[in-house]
Amino acid sequence: MADYEPTIIAFVCNWCTYTAADLAGTSRLVQPANVRMVRMMCTGMVDPKYIIKALLEGADAVLVSGCHPGDCHYINGNLKARRRMKLLKEILPKFGFDERRLKMTWIGASEGIDFAETIRKMTAEVKVLGQNDLRTRMVL
């Protein structure tokens, strides 16, 4: 189990974290290939159901990453996203989901190094948590 490769679904903001991820790539920073990125116009449009769906389909963790507070392209979408993450961190653990499978970070457009580091760390953390077996199990 310790040796499995986790799948992380990342909902990233077009203006900040996506650009940072792009920068990490073009800078040839080495990072694990465990992340499936979904580019959103803003983390403020990440409906809780996207995250729930990802976990029910067997994602080992979900990352939501947007602009630093104050930098949101749409003024405050990231702060709304933070409340929704708080909500999910309250609800999902009641059904046995480890809260650490839900992560939110602020990564600005110029922070490619930060992005690569976040992914490295998160992949290692999720490996320790073990696999989300819902991927291959029947979910009602």
Partner 1 sequence: MSKIGKIAVRDRDPVSSLQDFLKLLLEKGTVEAVLVQQRLPINNSVMPALVTDVEKLGWADPLAPAFPLNAARMLSRLTRKPLDAPIAAVMRPCEIRAFIELVKLKQGSAENVILISADCLGAYGNTDYAKVSGLGAGTQSTLAFHRNVISGKGTATEDADISAACKSCEHPVADNADVTIGLLGTNLEESLILIANTQKGRKLLDDLGVKEEDESLDLRRKAVEGLLSERVAYRDRMFERTSAAVSDMEKLMNYLGACVNCYNCRVACPVCYCRECVFTTDVFDHEPAQYLRWAKRKGALKMPTDTVFYHLTRLAHMSAACIGCGQCSNACPNEVPVMELFRTVAHGVQGVFGYSAGASLEEEPPLSVFHEKEFSEVTGGID
Residues that bind partner 1 (CB under 8 A): 48-49, 52-53, 56, 69-70, 76, 79-80, 82-92, 94-97, 104-106, 134-140
Answer yes or no: are the C-beta atoms of 131 and 4 closer than 8 Å.
Answer: yes
Answer yes or no: are the C-beta atoms of 8 and 35 closer than 8 Å.
Answer: yes
Query: Closest approach of Cβ 87 to partner 1, in Å?
Result: 6
User: How far is Cα 84 from Cα 77, in angstroms, rounded to an integer?
Assistant: 11
Query: Closest approach of Cβ 64 to partner 1, in Å?
Result: 9
CB of 25 or CB of 69, closer to partner 1: 69
Query: Closest approach of Cβ 26 to partner 1, in Å?
Result: 25
Q: At what angle do helices 17-26 and 112-129 cross, to 10 degrees?
A: 100
